A and B are shown apart, each in its own frame.
Chain A
């Protein structure tokens, strides 16, 4: 069964910038600008990019935690933005999220049991002893003891808290979990535990993940397909293997070269991008990456690059990639 579970088409989110007492709109932060992707059942899509590129905003819009400015999201065939009543409740059950910082995503005044049971109660799935039993099972599923029910979040370490957050996400039997940098705040040895747990749960429960991260080593480990995001746009998307063996967009290539490698023998010279990510209020004209791109040419400064499909499932947005002979315009030296 490889049905498309989530379909995102031309999704946009602009935040208005206002000024003065009448809150006159003087501009927009184009946090997410025309992104499209699919997630199939049982698949993990990795979304990589630097802070401020719109990864997190995109996930919030998909969850309908914030209103979209344009575009469509459909989940299991239903248009997410027009869902109401019972259908919306079902959608909320089916799509869950795990946040980056397990120290701020758990309410310190609730017990672990109540944190996990909150959704079960709200969706009237179970009450009383049955509910408690379900929470116990969830705790055990994520590798904690069912006896932790009455403990508080501060009694746990970062890795254990992230397990609690995962148990909470699983409590409603979701089909898609959005993982927003779930291991970035954790130590390496704990990171391995959580990544293994997520992989195990995916297999057991046939879950799909939208895995947001900035770490290229982590994303390769977990993803079936990967998308690179830059300044509100998806600039490249491909199957993991293709993505790593044949990255095409200069930004993807630069990210790879910046990723600290353990390989001492490969004395590579990283591609050092100049400057910072430009402001999303007035993104650069033409290709948005041209201000930092080491190989930008005249056309890049004028024309916005259309997405090119260079091979099955491999899309790239770059003027300099030749469709008939797809090669990255820069190589890692």
Chain B
């Protein structure tokens, strides 16, 4: 995996929104990298800037109020932020596709699903409608919709949530993109449907060799899908690395807090660890490290200086003054969680 090149490199990306109350820095210096054919899990809580990061890659930030205030998005060697709108249209759908969270609201209720997928194909690949319909049938079959020749003329309301999400995946894949951005693709679905969709995404990835940026708040989904993980907190990436590293040896106190605050089957009924305080207001981020008011380890340096992503292991970076050297005994003592990390039973 190490010799494969990056398909997408985001450098110091800044996305700001001008509001009446002030400038909201939704994304404030994000660095990310996705290697070809792999899946990067982007994890964080609501409001941390995950979705804005995703939307800014195909340049879908509504402006005004939003604007990309700085940074680079290098896709296959090209900086997407420097392309003309017309070139960008060629990239969207063809090269980079997106799946949104809500299958219920991302389809147009007044067109059949067949029409909606064909539209994408005709727009991007200049096919006749007969060819496009043929292709649509093939894709619907590939994503596991039973009797596609009948369902192709269905309207969205005639389908279940899982089926609609398959249609959206079919639409996203209709032009065989190289990069798929999936923003919480299974959050609105039931668990048995979720495994179906994740399994589908995995097998399509194997088949087509595409790269996936998977945004989720569910660490379990990350464990089953991703090769690398980026943890986002308050508009920044606070930790990045291979999934095994992050899961076995998290280097940022926030990551540690996330892991210890979720109930895990078999861990028993003791109280869950609660990360104290709340996510900071994006209009008034604290000075220094943005996590310090909630961090059990915070020291003077954390309150005054902002940490940057630094290497703490092989391909493993964290933005923390402690550089991954978290005192495990202190963590136990301060958080009263019984054990340091009890992820794998």
Contact = CB atoms under 8 A, between A and B. Distances in A.
Q: Which of B195, B219, B264, B344 has the most CB of A within 10 A?
A: B195
B341 to A, nearest CB: 10
Nearest to B225: A260
Contacts of A188: 45, 217, 219, 258, 261-262
A195 B272 contact: yes
A189 B195 contact: no
Contacts of B193: 50, 276
A276 B195 contact: no
Contact of B244 (A264, A272, A273): A264
B191 A220 contact: no
B269 interface: yes
Contact of B190 (A195, A214, A217): A214
B221 interface: yes
B77 to A, nearest CB: 33
B274 interface: yes
A217 B265 contact: yes
B274 A259 contact: no
A192 B278 contact: no
A191 interface: yes
A90 interface: no
B60 interface: no
Interface in B171-210: 190-196, 199
Contacts of A191: 261-262
B263 interface: yes
A189 B192 contact: no
Given A51-B190, A264-B243, A272-B196, A196 B345 contact: no
Given A187-B45, A189-B257, A265 B272 contact: no
Given A260-B220, A260-B223, A272-B196, A265 B261 contact: no
A264 B163 CA distance: 29
Interface residues of B, number: 46
A187 B219 CA distance: 12
B223 A221 contact: no
Contact of B265 (A220, A264, A273): A220
B247 interface: yes
A141 B193 CA distance: 39
A157 interface: yes
Nearest to B160: A276
Contacts of B83: none
B322 interface: no
Given A157-B278, A221-B263, A273 B192 contact: yes
A107 interface: no
B132 to A, nearest CB: 27
Contacts of B274: 189, 192-193, 196
Contacts of B220: 217, 259-262
Contacts of A277: 190
Contacts, number: 120
Nearest to A185: B46
Contact of A189 (B247, B261, B263): B261
Interface residues of A, number: 40
Given A264-B243, A276-B162, A220 B223 contact: no
Given A217-B263, A276-B193, A189 B199 contact: no
A254 B190 CA distance: 12
Contacts of A157: 278
Contacts of B262: 188, 191-192, 217, 262
Given A195-B263, A195-B272, A259 B45 contact: no
A239 to B, nearest CB: 13
A282 interface: no
A277 B161 CA distance: 11
Which of B196, B223, B263, B267: most chain A Cβ within 10 A?
A: B263
Contacts of A276: 160, 162-163, 193
Interface string A246-283: 00000000110111111111100010110111000000
Contacts of A257: 195
A20 to B, nearest CB: 21
A264 B223 contact: yes
Contacts of B20: none
Nearest to A220: B265
B265 A265 contact: no
Given A50-B192, A187-B217, A273-B192, A262 B199 contact: no
Interface of B: 45-46, 146, 160-163, 190-196, 199, 217-221, 223-224, 243-244, 247-248, 257-259, 261-267, 269, 271-275, 278, 343-345
6 contacts: A195-B263, A199-B271, A221-B263, A257-B195, A264-B344, A266-B344
**Interface pairs A-B: 8 shortest CB-CB:** A260-B220, A221-B263, A192-B272, A50-B190, A192-B261, A187-B45, A258-B191, A258-B195
Interface of A: 50-51, 157-158, 187-193, 195-196, 199, 214, 216-218, 220-222, 244, 254-255, 257-266, 270, 272-273, 275-277
